[in-house]
A and B are shown apart, each in its own frame.
Chain A
Amino acid sequence: MLVGAFTGVAIALITKNFALAVIGAIVAGGLLSLIFAYLAVSRRGDQMVTGFGVNLLATGLTLVLLPYLNAIRTRTVLFPVIDAGFLKDIPLLGPMIFDQSIGVWMALILTPMSMWVLYKTTWGLSLRAVGENSKAVATAGLSVIKLRYIGVLLGGLFAGLGGAFLALNNIGFFVANMTQSRGFIVLAALVVGKWNPLYFGIACILFGAADALQLRAQAFGSVLPYQVYLMLPYLLTIAALAGLVGRTQAPKEYAKPYDPTQA
């Protein structure tokens, strides 16, 4: 995500082309995820450790390259806002719904789309199965390694896109470590969303709302200290882990490497 944000800003500054910037960010996220896929899938490394490794690499890499980025002093292109014309003038609902950038709309469209792919296509079925019982997938004649690579790569592509959105939606520049561990909060959202794409999307919106609340609490002053709102996603996660949302079942082989030689 961080690498996506960085690449997005860099390309946006250099080319002034919005589409190129977003595509660049997605590709950068994908490339980084391939490093992780090689370590975790092919080399069967511990996924926690390699995950942290790749994370530190992203932080370090963007920090090292940051001075070069700061040397360019122009304005970037931003995510264009979809102009809904008169609809924008509807009180309250107008600015809330009809004054959003295409990034927001992409998030709203991609969630049901990925859900459709996961549950209604052969390929989605295989992808879901490969995290549950890789041996069953292998005996069905499919390639576990290939599927897992694709799964990680897709995650990387989406993270790259997320990074581009974070940096280019309205700020238009890159700040060191600007993601502030949002990637890890996604893991929490998975638990709260019971590993279901629809609930997961709702959990993400909820977490986003908490973030928005704390920003406004800082800006306008609030009875409660703004840190309370910052705490909300974590409180929700703890509640979810304590079983308040019912049976949450992570995929059976979550973070487990696949070893084809093991009978």
Chain B
Amino acid sequence: MLQMKGITKNYPSVIANDKISFDVKIGEIHALLGENGAGKSTLMNVLYGLQNLDNGEIFINGQQIHISSPKVAADAGIGMVHQHFMLVENMTALENVMLGLHQAKPPLLDIKGTREKFNSIVEKYGLVVDPDLPVWQLSVGEQQWLEIIKLLFRDVKLLILDEPTAVLTPAEAHQLFTTLRFLISEGRSIVFITHKLDEVQEIADRITVLRDGKLVGTLNKEEASSFQLSTMMVGRSVTLERRPRPIITEKSPVVVIEDLQCKNERGLTALKSINLTMYSGEILGVAGVDGNGQRELAECITGLHLPTHGKINILGKLVSKVVDDSSLLGFIPEDRHRTGLILDFTVYENLVMRTYKDPPFDWHGKTNWGKVKTFAKELIKRYDIRTPTEIVLVNTLSGGNQQKVVVARETNGQPSVVIASQPTRGLDLGAIETLHELLIKERNRGAAVMFISTELSEVMALSDRIIVMFNGEIMGEMDGENANVLHVGEMMMGHRIEN
């Protein structure tokens, strides 16, 4: 029913869509697969008239159509559920449905008739929402049902769902899939945007893969294996297999932690007597369910959080305040948006945030911005930060590149210790790989690296040594090369295992 040919969309600095062709048949679920920033959302925004295309043609049921606004798309029977819901939070579910909808007796609102139709849709499609509750009282799942109900009121023939399961619980996702299958049985078509492979294989009839704004290919469900899809998505085979590394025999203690205890922000005990030594040329993986003292441990080592008992020495020096020496310690905090970066600052300002007071950037209290920019250009090149120039705001970069800015700032001074707290959270596969490589590089240089992650597979892939934290204690320690996943899993649940 839909054909898109040679769709091209340029942004000031990147080509978001490069001659993409895409089609949807009547009664099928067509998955649009790709990493963050691959151009999936742009392609669909073009189709929905939110963005004008620079080049290309769109046909609906064989007829060419120029989609200049969402209204044109809606009139053509296309509806979209955006990743960020288009709902008015202070209005009821029913009012949201009536917004912009043709009423029986305009300009009067047909509240009674709409409510009846609302309830019949709820019943028919199994999308349970109370029409009289304001949207802010609905759960995220219910808000998504409401978005779909809005589209069904308009009797759309083609539904576009942008990453619909990102906000759903497993049970809700299951309900969504059931509803979607029912919708296609009625002769509607669905475009399902996602970056999750398992969902694609569960729900899609055909799969189109995008990468870096280009079309990689379209496959039928039967011919698509996970391996093939993931290869198409990132352009190389992705494995979270153990990373090869040179063996470093000379290891010296860098960070020595003795009987460390501390409290969290709410005054509760966060760490109970931690004894730990970090060695040079070693990645120490910290596994554990989120909130078991990992963050406090990282912040104590960096001096951001003061212990109530015990002491930490870095190269023989006691940590008593924030460690600001960039040749001693680099810290990649767990929330790059709030702690790692100032999003409204430029790339070069963020890169120099730790060292702007040091020579050669500081000249009698005045910052030499020329030198800062030269320095930033060099780091952008060295760390392969994908940014048009050094003077763009950091918030215009993709998540992976934002994290590279943090890593570049924290490690260019060749610190003896690198603390990385959940550095890969929210990044796509390609960016995760790059980040792992950067940390391995730091290790090979001779730094003592701490890698904190809640993703067990990552910890297993990257660490030379693994400790598991539970409830503010270290449950056990093992060699990264021969660690047993089951043992680590047991320890994460709070069981001690004697090796």
**Any B CB within 8 A of the CB of A142:** yes
Q: A136-175 vs B: 1/0 string, CB under 8 Å?
A: 1111111000000000000000000000000000000000
CB-CB under 8 A from A133, the residues of chain B are 86-89
Task: Tell me the B88-107 residues at the A interface (CB within 8 Å).
Answer: 88-91, 95-96, 98-101, 103, 106-107
Inter-chain contact A120/B99, CB cutoff 8 Å = no
CB-CB under 8 A from B90, the residues of chain A are 132, 249, 251-252
**Any A CB within 8 A of the CB of B343:** no
Give Cα distance in the complex from A142 to B99, angstroms.
9
Main secondary structure of the interface of B (DSSP, over half): loop
A58 CB, nearest partner CB in chain B, Å? 32
Q: CB-nearest residue of chain A relative to B110? A: A122
Interface centre among B88, B101, B106, B108 (most CB of A within 10 A): B88
Q: A120-B108, A126-B99 are in contact. Are A138 and B91 (CB under 8 A)?
A: no
CB-CB under 8 A from B352, the residues of chain A are none
Q: CB-nearest residue of chain B relative to A121? A: B107
Give Cα distance in the complex from A131 to B58, angstroms.
33
Give Cα distance in the complex from A252 to B85, angstroms.
14
**Any B CB within 8 A of the CB of A128:** yes
CB-CB under 8 A from A251, the residues of chain B are 90
Q: A120-B108, A129-B91 are in contact. Are A142 and B100 (CB under 8 A)?
A: yes
CB-CB under 8 A from B89, the residues of chain A are 132-133, 252
Inter-chain contact B109/A120, CB cutoff 8 Å = yes
Q: CB-nearest residue of chain A relative to B73? A: A141
**Any A CB within 8 A of the CB of B50:** yes
**Any B CB within 8 A of the CB of A123:** yes
Give Cα distance in the complex from A132 to B89, angstroms.
8
CB-CB under 8 A from A263, the residues of chain B are 45, 50-51
**Any B CB within 8 A of the CB of A125:** yes
CB-CB under 8 A from B96, the residues of chain A are 136
**Any A CB within 8 A of the CB of B257:** no
Inter-chain contact B88/A129, CB cutoff 8 Å = yes
Q: A133-B86, A138-B70 are in contact. Are A121 and B99 (CB under 8 A)?
A: no
Interface centre among A121, A135, A142 (most CB of B within 10 A): A135
Give Cα distance in the complex from A133 to B88, angstroms.
6
Task: Tell me the B119-143 residues at the A interface (CB within 8 Å).
Answer: none
Give Cα distance in the complex from A141 to B69, angstroms.
8
A181 CB, nearest partner CB in chain B, Å? 29
CB-CB under 8 A from A135, the residues of chain B are 86
Give Cα distance in the complex from A240 to B455, angstroms.
48
Give Cα distance in the complex from A120 to B111, angstroms.
8
Give Cα distance in the complex from A118 to B139, angstroms.
27
**Any A CB within 8 A of the CB of B272:** no
Inter-chain contact B99/A140, CB cutoff 8 Å = yes
Give Cα distance in the complex from A249 to B82, angstroms.
25
CB-CB under 8 A from B314, the residues of chain A are none
**Any A CB within 8 A of the CB of B286:** no
Give Cα distance in the complex from A214 to B111, angstroms.
46
Inter-chain contact A132/B88, CB cutoff 8 Å = yes
Task: Tell me the A220-263 residues at the B interface (CB within 8 Å).
Answer: 249, 251-252, 263
Give Cα distance in the complex from A135 to B106, angstroms.
23
**Any A CB within 8 A of the CB of B71:** yes
Inter-chain contact A123/B86, CB cutoff 8 Å = no
**Any A CB within 8 A of the CB of B80:** yes
**Any A CB within 8 A of the CB of B176:** no
Interface centre among B74, B80, B99, B109 (most CB of A within 10 A): B99
CB-CB under 8 A from B95, the residues of chain A are 125, 129
Give Cα distance in the complex from A187 to B86, angstroms.
28
Inter-chain contact A136/B86, CB cutoff 8 Å = yes
Among B82, B103, B109, the residue within 8 A (CB) of A139 is B82
Inter-chain contact A122/B109, CB cutoff 8 Å = yes
Inter-chain contact A122/B103, CB cutoff 8 Å = yes
Inter-chain contact A122/B86, CB cutoff 8 Å = no
Q: A137-B100, A139-B82, A252-B89 are in contact. Are A122 and B107 (CB under 8 A)?
A: yes
Task: Tell me the B304-343 residues at the A interface (CB within 8 Å).
Answer: none
CB-CB under 8 A from A129, the residues of chain B are 88, 91, 95, 99
Inter-chain contact B100/A140, CB cutoff 8 Å = yes
Inter-chain contact B87/A122, CB cutoff 8 Å = no
Q: A122-B106, A136-B99, A263-B50 are in contact. Are A128 and B91 (CB under 8 A)?
A: yes
A168 CB, nearest partner CB in chain B, Å? 32
Q: CB-nearest residue of chain B relative to A250? A: B90
Give Cα distance in the complex from A126 to B98, angstroms.
9
CB-CB under 8 A from B100, the residues of chain A are 126, 137, 140-142
Task: Tell me the B28-57 residues at the A interface (CB within 8 Å).
Answer: 45, 48, 50-51
Give Cα distance in the complex from A139 to B85, angstroms.
11
Q: A120-B109, A139-B82, A263-B45 are in contact. Are A125 and B98 (CB under 8 A)?
A: yes
Q: A133-B88, A136-B87 are in contact. Are A141 and B107 (CB under 8 A)?
A: no
Give Cα distance in the complex from A123 to B103, angstroms.
11
Q: CB-nearest residue of chain A relative to B85? A: A136
Give Cα distance in the complex from A123 to B101, angstroms.
11
CB-CB under 8 A from B109, the residues of chain A are 120-122, 125
Q: A121-B107, A126-B100 are in contact. Are A141 and B88 (CB under 8 A)?
A: no
Report the 7 A-B pairs with minimum CB-CB distance, sorted nearest first: A140-B100, A141-B71, A136-B86, A121-B107, A132-B88, A133-B88, A139-B86
Q: Would you list 22 pairs from A and B whose C-beta atoms are within 8 A, ordered by A residue?
A: A121-B108, A121-B109, A122-B98, A123-B107, A125-B91, A126-B99, A129-B91, A129-B95, A132-B90, A132-B91, A133-B87, A137-B99, A139-B86, A140-B86, A140-B99, A140-B100, A141-B100, A142-B99, A251-B90, A252-B88, A252-B90, A263-B51
Contacts A122-B106, A138-B70 known; list 12 others, CB within 8 Å.
Answer: A120-B109, A128-B91, A132-B88, A135-B86, A136-B99, A137-B100, A139-B50, A139-B80, A140-B100, A141-B100, A263-B50, A263-B51
